[in-house]
Amino acid sequence: MQPLVLPHRSERGITLIEMMIALVVLSLGVLAIAQLFPAGTRRQVSDRMLTTANNYAQQKLEDLSGVAWTDTTLTDGQHPTTDELLGSSGQWQRHYVVATMASPLDNLKKVTVTVSWKFQGSRSVTAITYLRR
């Protein structure tokens, strides 16, 4: 008959306490990663709204670049006097300001288009171009 040999302490496996600690650490890691998903979604929506606002500003600049110098849409001042609502539910507001440059650049008009919206606070983009007579 062979003598009974007890395994060394390092060969006995893991205890219930060690298993519970490992599960707690794993759970905390999973919860930390899970919080990234809503933040990523908010950032994606914010970026999409910024891109759309830039597109609205660029669209207005392109529309105005083909307008005659004497057209009423290029008179000095803000156009329209109240913000133009854009988007399916008016999420974006747009207006533009025309200013004739001082001499010797009086053959140029500076057009500044501003598009604003609200998402996690008020935001806006501005696009500027110069139109020549």
- The string of pLDDT tens digits covering residues 26-54 is 999 999 888 878 878 888 999 999 999 99
Backbone angles phi, psi at 4, to 5 degrees: -70, 125
- Asked whether the predicted pLDDT for residue 131 surpasses 90, the reply is yes
111, with CB counted inside 10 A (0-12, 13-18, 19+), is buried
pLDDT at 120: 84
Task: State yes or no: cis peptide before 38, omega within 30 of 0.
Answer: no
Residue 53 amino acid letter: A
Q: Structural domains in the chain? A: 14-132 (3.30.1300.30)
- Asked whether the predicted pLDDT for residue 8 surpasses 70, the reply is no
Q: At what angle do helices 36-65 and 16-34 cross, to 10 degrees?
A: 10
Exposure pattern of 114-126 as b/e (b: 16+ CB <10 Å)?
bbbbeeeeeeebe
pLDDT at 9: 59
- The string of pLDDT tens digits covering residues 69-88 is 899 999 999 999 899 999 88
State the average pLDDT over residues 90-118.
Answer: 95
